[in-house]
Amino acid sequence: MPIGTLEVLLVDAKGLDNNDFMADMDPYVLLTVNTQEKKSTVVSAQGSNPEWNETFLFTISDDSADLHLKIMEKDNFSADDYVGEAIISLEPVFEEGSLLPTAYNVVNQEKEYRGGIKVGLKFTPEAEPEERSEYRSGEGAETEESYGGWKQSAYGEE
């Protein structure tokens, strides 16, 4: 698995199952990669078709394989309601570098379709550390004199 930074563009959702019988739903998304969790803003007054257009950054390590999107509905007087979730494999973005915003199915705990969520992904691999010049030897290596070695020291001079 590569190491680097994953940029997630949370665009919008369409046709979410509205759990709030009294009013329009106020959804938000919990985005998780391994133990890193981010929360989108709560979108009010857009009902089942919210738009976020928010970007989130995750640090990717060797064991990162999926992006989990958990859609919740904000309740003011009780616990927030679970709407559904989408799990996105990160393998394609590791291979391609970026994926244009794409719609993914949102399903509930019984794996029933509950709408769609559109997400764009971009992966930036961590740069390989370059070999440090002071540890090189052979042709092209700097000598002690070229970077202020002991021969240029004034210590011990009278």
Residue 34, in any domain of the structure: yes
- Between CA 7 and CA 35 the distance in angstroms is 16
> Is the pTM of the predicted complex or chain greater than 0.85?
no
What is the reported pLDDT for 75?
A: 87
The CATH number for 79's domain is 2.60.40.150
**What are the 10-residue block averages of pLDDT along the chain, 158 residues in total?**
92 87 86 96 92 97 90 90 96 96 96 96 84 49 50 54
For residue 88, what are the CA distances in angstroms to 13, 16, 81, 102, 129?
15, 18, 22, 11, 30
Residue 22, in any domain of the structure: yes
Eight-state DSSP code of residue 63: T
What is the reported pLDDT for 132?
A: 45
| 149 contact partners, CB below 8 Å, separation of at least 6 | 143
How many domains, in total, are found in the chain? Answer: 1
